[in-house]
């Protein structure tokens, strides 16, 4: 089958977008792994498949696959690219778009300046919602991995994250500790690992080791998780700029039970066709 696709990125976190509204498209794990390969395929962090909604009040449904072929619940940078994609492809003329994901329902707002604000829903710090093996009595947990112990804030923003506050960010730290914690036995469905350096109450530097992918240039859900973890611990204010390797995201969270609002860019790189 000849597959038409659009390559996009959100702050360097790159995606292949596929329209499964106009034409039915199905993928298996081996196809996704081949397409994601940066030498033999198109190359991407995630594959996003846009589908018709299953609920009448929704505008679309979309599915998110990591480069290893596993399906995941949520992707903040992908959500912004999704909004630009459906408008550019004339699949909708709405500026406020209601979307189904594996995680649940989200709302996307396309702003006049081209930026996209994503209502990410309310986070959860309950271990069962990640899942994370622990009693829900702490806000900061100690996890032993290898010979070291790490202080983490576990948080679900639709997908699972473990946030570490660090003094400095280094390649070795992100690669080694990220890999150890991603597949730690206390996270039975694995976890995304965020390394956060607090610059001041309104700014952080952040690097994220993503589950099933490795480190990416930017992670939208990771930025949301880091900011709400920092707010919960008393390190951050309610509006924060997260500096990632690919650029900046603005994150706002007003506290327990309130949704996270994430605002940032989405860019089209090119369109193409490939046989699968």
Residue 62 sits in a domain whose CATH number is: 3.10.310.10
pLDDT in the model for residue 212: 86
pLDDT in the model for residue 252: 98
Q: Are residues 158 and 251 in the same domain?
A: yes
Q: Are residues 169 and 241 in the same domain?
A: yes
Is 46 annotated among the ligand-binding residues?
A: yes
What gap in Å lies between CA 64 and CA 136, rounded to an integer?
Answer: 29
Tokens 């329902």 -> residue: 105
pLDDT in the model for residue 73: 86
Q: Are residues 117 and 131 in the same domain?
A: no
Range of the domain at 248: 127-258
Q: Kindly list the catalytic residues.
A: 75, 219
What gap in Å lies between CA 74 and CA 65, rounded to an integer?
Answer: 10
Q: Are 39 and 46 in contact (CB under 8 A)?
A: no
What gap in Å lies between CA 162 and CA 153, rounded to an integer?
Answer: 6
Q: Are residues 104 and 214 in the same domain?
A: no
- pTM to 2 decimals? 0.91
Q: Are residues 116 and 136 in the same domain?
A: no
What is the sign, positive or negative, of the torsion defined by CA atoms of 205, 268, 45, 226? Answer: positive
Which runs of consecutive H residues, i.e. helices, occur in 156-242?
A: 171-182, 220-232
Is 159 annotated among the ligand-binding residues?
A: yes
Is 220 annotated among the ligand-binding residues?
A: yes
pLDDT in the model for residue 14: 95
Q: Are 224 and 248 in contact (CB under 8 A)?
A: no
pLDDT in the model for residue 136: 78
The DSSP H or E segment spanning 85 is helix 76-88
| Both tokens assigned to 174 | 């992100």
pLDDT in the model for residue 172: 93
**Tens digit of each residue's pLDDT, the chain (276 residues):** 899 999 999 999 999 999 999 999 999 999 999 999 999 999 999 999 999 999 999 999 999 999 999 998 889 999 999 999 999 999 999 999 999 998 788 999 999 888 999 999 999 999 999 999 998 778 899 999 988 999 999 999 989 999 999 999 999 999 999 999 999 999 999 999 999 999 999 999 999 999 988 999 999 999 999 999 999 999 999 999 999 999 999 999 999 999 999 999 999 999 999 998
Q: Minimal CA–CA distance to 161: which of 186, 118, 201, 192?
A: 192
Is 211 annotated among the ligand-binding residues?
A: yes
State the total domains in the chain.
2
Is 77 annotated among the ligand-binding residues?
A: yes
pLDDT in the model for residue 22: 93
b/e code 91-109 from CB counts within 10 Å (16+ = b): beeeeebbbbbebeebbbb
């Amino acid at each position: 089958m000849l597959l038409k696709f659009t390559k996009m990125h959100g702050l360097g976190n790159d995606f292949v977008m596929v329209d499964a509204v106009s034409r039915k498209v199905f993928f298996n794990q081996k196809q996704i792994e081949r397409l994601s390969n940066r030498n033999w395929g198109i190359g991407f962090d995630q594959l996003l498949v846009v589908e018709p909604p299953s609920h009448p009040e929704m505008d679309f449904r979309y599915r998110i696959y990591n480069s290893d072929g596993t399906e995941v619940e949520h992707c903040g940078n992908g959500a912004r690219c999704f909004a630009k994609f459906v408008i550019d492809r004339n699949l909708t003329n709405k500026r406020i778009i209601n979307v189904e994901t594996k995680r649940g329902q989200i709302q996307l707002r396309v702003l006049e300046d081209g930026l996209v604000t994503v209502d990410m829903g309310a986070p959860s710090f309950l271990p069962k919602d990640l899942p994370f093996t622990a009693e829900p009595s702490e806000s900061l947990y100690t996890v032993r991995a290898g010979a070291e112990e790490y202080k983490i804030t576990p948080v679900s923003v639709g997908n699972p994250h473990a946030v570490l506050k660090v003094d400095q960010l280094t390649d070795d730290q992100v690669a080694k500790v990220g890999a150890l914690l991603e597949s730690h036995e206390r996270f039975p469905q694995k976890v995304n690992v965020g390394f956060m350096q607090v610059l001041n109450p309104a700014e952080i530097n952040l690097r994220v080791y993503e589950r099933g992918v490795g480190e990416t240039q930017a992670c939208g859900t990771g930025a949301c998780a880091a900011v709400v973890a920092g707010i919960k611990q008393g390190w951050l204010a309610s509006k924060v700029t997260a500096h990632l390797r690919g650029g900046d995201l603005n994150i706002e969270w007003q506290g327990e039970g309130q949704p996270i609002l994430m605002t940032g860019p989405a860019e089209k790189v090119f369109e193409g066709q490939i046989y699968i």
